[in-house]
Chain A
Amino acid sequence: MSDLFPLSVSGAQVRRRGKVLVGPVDLTLQAGGVTIVVGPNGSGKTSLLKMLHGILRLNRGGITWACGTEDAQRRQAFVFQTPVMLRRTVLENLIYPLRLLNVPKAQARQQAEDWAARIGLSGAEGRQATVLSGGERQKLALARALIRKPDLLFLDEPCASLDGRAMREIEAILQDAVASGTRIIMSTHDMGQARRLADEVLFILHGKVHEFGPAAGFFEDPETPQARAFLNGDIVE
């Protein structure tokens, strides 16, 4: 299997109903580690992730994966801010992506049970996913994304509105995923979480990338006044 990275984004822009959601973006992402996308509300974090993942179609520019687009799309997964649960049981939610990949039923079931145990939902495998708590749903969404062993995982504010314990559990799962070679691109509003997880930070404002570089540099000495104001907790216009 060829490498997924580098990912080259050149002049990529998404517009809907005459409004620019994100872009133009020029960016090159390398393999390995965690990229955290930060920026104020409405800055285009979600749109950027969805554009890179291919959910939002480009109006201009291009995105080039080292291995080709089709192969790349098969090798990535996405966890949404509001987890989308299939109207099925916990176990069936976990089995679903494996069955799409034609994993035999018994093997898929075994893997699903292992993941249910790993996210603390063993014993709840038969419950409807839609009745789980917010934290449980987000953990299930994460497990459903990781069960396919993606090379790249996008997460859109996965810990928004979760308590500290649920956040810690999700971060532990993410750190395990990174250790086993999954590349992560994640947006967050939580600067503490960004500092804990980030290898590099991408600061986005008004749909454009304002800063992109190593996390230490961004947090200690941001290049732009907007990034500095954002880190200080000021209102960024």
Chain B
Amino acid sequence: MSELWDGIAQAFWLIVTLDADLVEITLRSLQVTLTALVIACLIALPLAAILSVRRFPFRRITIAVLNALMGLPPVVVGLIVYVFLSRAGPFGVLGLLFTPTAMIIAQVIIIVPLIASIAHQSLRDLWAEYHDLLISMNTTQGQRIKTLLWDSRRALLTAALAGFGRGIGEVGAIMIVGGNIDHATRVLTTAIALETGKGNFSLALGLGFVLIALAIAVNLAIHWLSHTEREGRW
């Protein structure tokens, strides 16, 4: 139990003193996950909208596979990305292994199915509601997708936040493709794993509390910026 209090004290101390290492790995965590989130949203949201609006062969199978991929094991993703980016792999020439870019690629692969599946559920329900109206207005497919994405933006924000949560807390894949290299690819989760391995539980817990606080702060900031939960909005 004392380790828990020590952890809280460590977290408080690290934050108050703006510990240089903590600031560095926190900023790297944010940089990697937010970049992965933006890229994943750019892929997942239009994909979810297309799956809602268009009818094409194997659509149901595509949706089922997407849903199944929500539970994609990060370690396996990390391993596959590792193989592709390693020197002997097809993209080895790019020299991306053990860089933040490799970590971003792994996170994108992990969170795209999650965001797309959650977004698809919201967009599908809205499409059922809007279907006749948008057809009667003689809208193009592009206009329908744009309308659905805009009018579902609050639900899509939830999907994006779920993706952020999965990304910021992810350790298996980024440990493999990033290598947890100090001042290069170390992020909060890999630092926690390292400190735990060293038996330094107080510091590991301290970093864990910083990670939780960071996730809550980003969620609150996005909610505040997007004006959700304000009285009288809907």
B132 touches A86 (CB 8 A): no
- By a CB distance below 8 angstroms, the chain B residues around A50 are 132
* Contact of A74 with B by CB under 8 A: yes
With A86-B151, A130-B234 as contacts: A80 and B132 at CB distance below 8 Å: yes
Residue among B132, B143, B147, B234 making CB contact with A55, cutoff 8 Å:
B132
Q: In angstroms, how far is the closest chain B Cβ from the Cβ of A208?
A: 23
Cβ contact within 8 Å between A86 and B130: yes
Q: Are the C-beta atoms of B137 and A84 separated by less than 8 Å?
A: no
Q: Does A131 contact B (CB under 8 A)?
A: yes
Q: Which residues of A contact B129 (CB under 8 A)?
A: 84
Chain A interface size, under 10 / 10 to 19 / 20 to 34 / 35 or more = 20 to 34
Q: Which of B126, B143, B151, B234 contacts A100 (CB 8 A)?
A: B143
Minimum distance in angstroms from A148 CB to a CB of chain B:
8
Q: Given A73-B138, A128-B233, A130-B234, A84–B143 Cβ distance below 8 Å?
A: no
A53 CA to B135 CA, complexed, in Å:
10
Which residues on the A side are within 8 Å of B17 (C-beta)? none
Instruction: Name the residue on B nearest A80 (C-beta).
Output: B132
Please encode chain B, from 177 to 198, with 1 for each CB lying within 8 Å of some chain A CB and 0 for all others. Answer: 0000000000000000000000
Q: Is the interface of A mostly helix, strand, loop or mixed?
A: mixed
* Assembled-state Cα–Cα distance A74/B135 (Å): 11
Distance of A73 Cα from B134 Cα, bound (Å): 12
Distance in angstroms between the alpha carbons of A54 and B136 in the assembled complex:
8
* C-alpha spacing A2/B137, complex, angstroms: 20
Task: Please determine whether B234 and A128 come into contact, CB atoms closer than 8 angstroms.
Answer: yes
Residues 202-234 of B at the A interface (beta carbon under 8 Å): 232-234
Measured CA separation A77–B134 after assembly (Å): 11
Tell me the bound Cα distance from A16 to B233 in angstroms.
Answer: 39
Q: A84-B130, A84-B132, A86-B151 are in contact. Are A100 and B139 (CB under 8 A)?
A: yes
Q: Can you list 26 A-B pairs with a CB-CB distance of less than 8 A?
A: A54-B135, A55-B132, A55-B135, A74-B138, A77-B136, A78-B132, A78-B133, A78-B136, A80-B132, A84-B129, A84-B132, A84-B133, A86-B133, A86-B147, A86-B151, A87-B126, A87-B151, A87-B234, A96-B147, A97-B137, A100-B137, A100-B139, A100-B143, A128-B234, A130-B234, A131-B232
B: which residues have CB within 8 A of A? 126, 129-130, 132-133, 135-139, 143, 147, 151-152, 232-234
**A residues within 8 Å of B by Cβ?**
50, 53-55, 73-74, 77-78, 80, 84, 86-88, 96-97, 100, 127-128, 130-131
